[in-house]
Chains A and B, each alone.
Chain A
Amino acid sequence: MTAPVQEPAADGAAQFCDQCGAPAAEPGHERCAARRTLEPPRFCPQCARRMVVQVDPFGWTARCSRHGETHS
């Protein structure tokens, strides 16, 4: 399921899908896009590592061991 871990692009752009961890440029992310409205991110968009995600009643935080924390 997890895509090979890669270093982020020099410009910081998302390289990986935050829902499935596959390269964002690959086709087939329609389900991921639909899912995103009711799902927090699961994979770091910069390196595809699985993130530690905490959902609370009104938001979420997601932490990548390499790239730090993001939140809603």
Chain B
Amino acid sequence: MSISTTTLSDRPGDPGRSDILAVAREQVLERGEGLTREQVLEVLQLPDESLDDLLALAHDVRMRWCGPEVEVEGIISLKTGGCPEDCHFCSQSGLFASPVRSAWLDVPMLVEAAKQTAKTGATEFCIVAAVRGPDERLMGQVAAGVAAIKDAVDINVACSLGMLTPDQVTRLAEMGVHRYNHNLETARSYFPNVVTTHTWEERWETLRLVREAGMEVCCGGIVGMGETLEQRAEFAAQLAELTPDEVPLNFLNPRPGTPFGDLEQMSGPDALRTVAAYRLAMPRTVLRFAGGREITLGDLGARQGLLGGINAVIVGNYLTTLGRPAEADIDLLGELQMPIKALNETL
């Protein structure tokens, strides 16, 4: 990894730190080379007064290397709750006193949700299950659901079913699942503070298998879980090393009953700095606004994010919580003159 060429003081907020913006402009905007871990840290340490300039640069980078299109996605929980894992942010773990109860969705409801999602112009529909990894019952349900959706709706189907075996990866690819989501969630060094029932390396192995099978790799995480800025920068570099096709960026929404239920929400400026920093680390990826943006950034956040490096959104609700009305995001894209990515561009 190269070291930043800027000369900086160690004091956060030092005006000298804005030099990183000049470096990023030449390195990322002009040459398309993402920022290193050390450079991302400098960006994350920029003072609030530099935020507008940072967001503008991240937007320029996104427009230059990705274009104006925005990828729109809907997500659905096929199997909710009762998960044996202990991801400390998650209300669907069966190990915590969360109010979320187990539920299964049937195939007709899955197809109806995909139809409604497609009506918004979305090109992506992601089927999610709260599991360590899929068992045969779940694989069967996914196979039936994917086939039924493909028969009824013109939309790309993605899945997020936890850790996979090589055989399961092959079967999902054969079903026509075009993208697989498996978040690393946080920096490798912080992961043991977030999950103890499996390892960061196990997740990485699933991602490797997914790529080998020819599916697109979707991998992101959650920021604001108590990680340091250094670890937030570390995570950006680790994601960049993975070169995922898509990075969903979530902001912790502290869930009642979970170990992280009493953590403070991260501030809006910190969230926006993270968006921009991750764009500068990964200039060509699909960077998706995901869960927690409503409570962290409010209604203005969607606009600021889309003008600060984001080029994909989850519309409507999330897995167990509610989002902004889909129409609000679609109307905003029209207002910002950002076309929704068409299906034929994603195939």
Contact = CB atoms under 8 A, between A and B. Distances in A.
Interface stretch (B94-102, B195-203, B231-239): B94-102
Interface in B225-261: 256-257
B170 interface: no
A21 B294 CA distance: 24
Contacts of B321: 38-40, 55
Question: Which applies to chain B's interface (DSSP): helix, strand, loop or mixed?
Answer: loop
Range of interface residues on chain B? 20 to 34
Interface string A23-51: 00000000000000111101100000011
Contact of A57 (B74, B99, B102, B103): B74
A56 to B, nearest CB: 5
A2 B256 CA distance: 12
Contact of A53 (B97, B103, B256, B316): B103
Given A38-B294, A38-B322, A54-B103, A1 B97 contact: yes
A38 B317 CA distance: 9
A32 to B, nearest CB: 9
Contact of A42 (B100, B315, B316, B322): B100
B101 A51 contact: yes
A60 B102 contact: no
Contacts of A56: 76, 105, 109, 112-113, 116, 317
Given A38-B322, A57-B75, A57-B117, A50 B317 contact: no
B323 interface: yes
A57 B317 contact: yes
A58 B74 CA distance: 9
Contacts of B117: 57
Contacts of B338: none
A58 B116 contact: yes
A52 interface: yes
A52 B102 contact: yes
Nearest to A32: B256
B321 to A, nearest CB: 6
B317 A55 contact: yes
B77 interface: yes
B139 interface: no
A54 B105 contact: yes
Contact of B318 (A43, A51, A55): A55
Interface of A: 1-2, 20-21, 37-40, 42-43, 50-60
In order of increasing CB-CB distance, the 8 nearest A-B pairs are A57-B316, A42-B99, A57-B74, A56-B113, A38-B322, A52-B101, A52-B103, A55-B317
Given A38-B321, A56-B116, 16 more contacts: A1-B257, A38-B323, A39-B322, A50-B101, A51-B101, A52-B102, A53-B80, A53-B103, A54-B103, A54-B109, A55-B77, A56-B76, A57-B113, A57-B316, A59-B317, A60-B317
